[in-house]
């Protein structure tokens, strides 16, 4: 979960205003959490406190109505509807918020079902649901060591039919100004950045250098990297500085629950 939030915060300043350069500073005063973090916290809160996913999303997004970068157009309309109903969206929002599902459920069928449930309250298109299920499942595979990192690409192709492009092709698209906003692009792009990286920070940097939807791609790639690598303490501590107390409380509750689940195994 924290991996997703770090990817979001670091990527936030590059989505619209700046182009990343090699060796860029990770945290600056122009970084902030975005809707990716807000929605990730909402999904965690729903699981931890037995809330409906829709209720939690509406609650947390209502608390932060104007985050850095705003909300996606269709999701904003969903939030402000008098009766928010699912829309046939395959935007990457369903995948960027799903990481708590991959951590807090210990059965593959539960991970798939809960990822679907977390997506379909707002993103009911099959591609939006598949993107969420893929991200949650990769986290589940890695953190339970059911698959090694080297086995992920083949398993993703077999189970989700995602062909993951090369990092070179992804970077080329970024240089051309392409903005990846769909699950069909962002999830495979984020997967490649993670698969080609050597550690958590390398995942973060490779993903941001891919440009495009940097905060969401960062959230997805780094949520998977957290399941494979330790997050450097100094990076975690810097990310905490951007977060309000009520979000930090959910994060603390999340890791308390996860560690408790490990102890029960």
One DSSP character per residue, 138-204 reads HHHHHHTTSS-HHHHHHHHHHHH-PPPPPHHHHHHHHHTT----BHHHHHHHHHHHHHT-SSHHHHH
Q: CA-CA distances (angstroms) from residue 212 to 113, 189, 208?
A: 30, 10, 8
pLDDT in tens, 70-87: 998 889 999 988 888 878
Mean pLDDT of 1-24: 94
Which residues pair with residue 123 across a beta bridge? Answer: 87
Q: Count how many Cα atoms sit within 13 Å of the Cα of residue 242 in the half-sphere of its side chain.
A: 25
Stated as kind and residue range, the H or E segment containing 223 is helix 214-226
Q: Considering the chain, what is the average pLDDT of its residues? A: 95
Among 101-115, 199-213, 222-236, 248-262, the least confident range: 248-262
Residue holding tokens 């699912």?
86
Confirm whether pTM is higher than 0.85.
yes
pLDDT, position 265: 53
pLDDT in tens, 118-157: 999 999 899 999 999 999 999 999 999 999 999 999 999 9
* Token pair belonging to 231: 């997050």
pLDDT over threshold 70, residue 263: no
């Amino acid at each position: 979960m924290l991996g997703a939030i770090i990817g979001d915060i670091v990527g936030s300043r590059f989505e619209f205003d700046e182009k990343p350069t090699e060796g860029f500073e990770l945290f600056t005063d122009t970084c902030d959490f975005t809707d990716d973090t807000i929605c990730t916290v909402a999904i965690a809160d729903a699981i931890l406190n037995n809330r409906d996913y829709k209720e939690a999303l509406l609650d947390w997004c209502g608390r932060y109505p104007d985050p850095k970068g705003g909300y996606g157009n269709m999701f904003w309309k969903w939030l402000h509807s008098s009766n928010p109903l699912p829309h046939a969206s395959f935007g990457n929002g369903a995948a960027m918020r799903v990481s708590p599902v991959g951590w807090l459920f210990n059965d593959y069928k539960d991970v798939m079902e809960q990822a679907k449930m977390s997506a379909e309250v707002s993103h009911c298109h099959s591609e939006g649901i598949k993107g969420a299920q893929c991200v949650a499942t990769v986290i589940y595979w890695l953190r339970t060591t059911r698959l090694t990192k080297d086995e992920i690409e083949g398993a993703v192709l077999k189970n989700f039919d995602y062909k993951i492009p090369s990092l070179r092709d992804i970077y080329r698209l970024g240089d051309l100004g392409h903005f990846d906003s769909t699950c069909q692009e962002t999830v495979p792009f984020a997967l490649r950045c993670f698969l080609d990286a050597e550690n958590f920070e390398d995942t973060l940097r490779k993903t941001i250098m891919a440009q495009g939807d940097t905060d969401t791609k960062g959230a997805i790639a780094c949520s998977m990297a957290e399941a494979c690598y330790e997050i450097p303490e100094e990076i975690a501590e810097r990310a905490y500085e951007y977060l309000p107390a009520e979000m930090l409380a959910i994060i603390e509750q999340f890791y308390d629950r996860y560690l408790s689940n490990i102890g029960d195994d």
